[in-house]
Amino acid sequence: MLRFAFTIFLLFPVTAFAGEWPTYRHDNRRSGVSEENLNFPLKPLWTHQGGTPRQAWSGPAKWDAFSGNAGLQSMRNFDPCYYVTIDEGQVYYGSSHDNAVHALDAKSGSERWVFFTEAPVRLPPTLFDGAVYAGSDDGHLYALNSKNGKLIWKDHGAPSERRIPSNASLISLWPVRTSALIANDSLYYAASLTPWESSWLVSVDPKSGQRKFAEEMSGVTLQGALLATAETLIAPQGRSSPLLFDAKTGKAAGALSLAGGVFCLVTEDEQILAGPISQKAKDSQLLLTNPEGKKVATFNDTTRAVLSMGTAYLHTRGKLKAIRYAENSAELWSVITPIPSELIVCENAVLIGLGNSLSAYSRERGELLWTAEVDGRVHGLAITNGTLVASTSLGAIHAFGP
């Protein structure tokens, strides 16, 4: 029996306050939940153009002859835009266009500093205690000074300097394509690419970069944002089930056999939402699993969701809905919308990213509060101090505020 000892205060060494967005999807649970209120309507504040992203994987097969399916979804769509993290007046992102970590002024969007690596940076930096932590396809995890971008330390997750060509870049055979995750006074990341080469799960001291452990494993491909409970790490793989590891030792602790893909989150009560199982399903599915590994609920025709305090906010079969999934799936409200590519919630709104636009709906009643047009499909949303930041497939980062 697999159990996840879950203590919300241990998920991040310093609690993510309402005005911060210090890691991918806000916290180590990847909840997508902010405690902030946004004052609508919002107006455009600034736009930063970072160049079109060069994704790690081009997408799924065009069709599956065995299952007779077309229009298959990607199972490794972890870098379709420049996701951002935000703290102390700066917006950070990693770039697959120019292989760099960027810091922008949160009020003006002007660039404060840039740090170049030797290959694409595919996931947003994690911010903690004055430092910026980001992994690169060059096989390193970098710790940078948040004020000036100067290198503090770097750790080489790969066992050698071997490089291979990939999407117009020369990358390590062991790229760092997981977010840096900080929990229980440790920083975790993985260096991994293919199941026929060894992969490495690494833990270091976030201050010094000194190694705590480096676990070698085979037959896995660790990609996407790591998640954490108090004692367990969860590592997405894409086409295979997310893997579980003991946070103290890095030893394998099982897998989420009912899930796949790179979209995962942990709820306040230890349950895990992940999916889809495979790209063959005729509709998209997210599966909710309890700490014992048993299926609790299936959300059909759904690719993005937020679960908060027993309520699921999700899009299914043409409608954005709020459902009390813990209470016999009672529907609180629903509204017709296009299929979102991103979904987060704040204290007073459900925010969705769409093709060339984004919208906000009342969290309580579902009525439309605000909408705005942008260039490209919105895959990333983040909130800080009354400002909403949207990242698109064309490499643009848009900020909206009161």
pLDDT in tens, 310-321: 899 999 989 999
Q: Check whether 356 has a pLDDT greater than 50.
A: yes
The answer for residues whose C-beta is within 8 angstroms of residue 82's C-beta and 6 or more apart is 50, 53, 93, 94, 95, 124, 380, 391, 395, 397
pTM over 0.85: yes
Residue 293 lies in a domain: yes
Q: Is residue 385 part of a domain?
A: yes
Q: Give a yes or no: residue 3 inside a domain.
A: no
Is the residue at 123 inside a domain? yes
What are the b/e assignments for 259-294, b being 16+ CB within 10 Å? bbbbbbbbbeebbbbbbbbbbebeebbbbbbbbebe
CA-wise closest residue to 278 among 312, 238, 246? 238
| pLDDT tens track for 375-387 | 999 999 999 999 9
CB 358 within 8 A of CB 396: no
Number of domains in the chain: 1
- Per DSSP, the three-state class of 286 is strand
Flag whether 119 is in a domain: yes
pLDDT-based confidence at residue 4 (cuts at 50, 70, 90) = very low
Q: Is 133 helix (H, G, I), strand (E, B) or coil?
A: strand
Does 212 reside within a domain?
yes
pLDDT (mean) for 43-69: 75
Q: What is the pLDDT of residues 80-93, one digit of tens each?
A: 999 999 999 999 99
Residue 373 has pLDDT above 70, yes or no: yes
pLDDT at 354 over 60: yes
- Lowest-pLDDT range of 54-68, 127-141, 204-218: 54-68
Helices (H) and strands (E) in the chain, counts: 0, 34
pLDDT at 370 over 90: yes
Residue with tokens 């452990």, as numbered in its chain: 213
Q: For residue 2, tell me if it sits in a domain.
A: no
For 128-172, write each residue's pLDDT tens digit: 999 999 999 999 999 999 999 999 999 999 888 888 888 778 889
Residue 260 three-state SS: coil
pLDDT at 229: 79
d(CA 154, CA 347): 37
pLDDT at 62 over 70: no
More confidently predicted of 294 and 205: 205
Per DSSP, what are the bridge partners of residue 216?
200
Reported as a pLDDT band with limits 50, 70 and 90, residue 9 is: very low
Can you tell me the mean pLDDT for 376-399?
A: 96
Q: Which residues contact 311 (CB under 8 A, 6 or more apart)?
A: 322, 323, 324, 325, 332
Residue 164 belongs to domain spanning: 8-401
On whether the CB atoms of residues 180 and 141 are closer than 8 A, the answer is yes
Q: How confident is the model at residue 277 (pLDDT cuts 50, 70, 90)?
A: low
Is residue 234 situated within a structural domain?
A: yes
We report the CATH number of the domain holding residue 316 as 2.130.10.10
What pLDDT is stored for residue 327 in this prediction?
72
Spatial distance between the Cα atoms of 305 and 321, rounded to a whole number of angstroms: 10
The CB-side HSE value for 329 (13 A sphere, CA atoms) comes to 5
Q: What does the H/E/C string look like for 74-95?
A: CCCCCCCCCCEEEECCEEEEEC
Residue 225 banded pLDDT, cuts 50, 70, 90: very high
Sheet holding 305-308, edge to edge: 305-308, 311-316, 319-324, 330-336
* Interior/surface letters 116-138, b for 16+ CB within 10 angstroms, e for the rest: ebebbbbbbbbbbeebbbbbbbb
The model's confidence at residue 230, banded by pLDDT at 50, 70 and 90, is: confident
Mean pLDDT of 339-364: 96
Pairing of strands 243-246, 252-255: antiparallel
User: How long, in residues, is the chain?
Assistant: 402
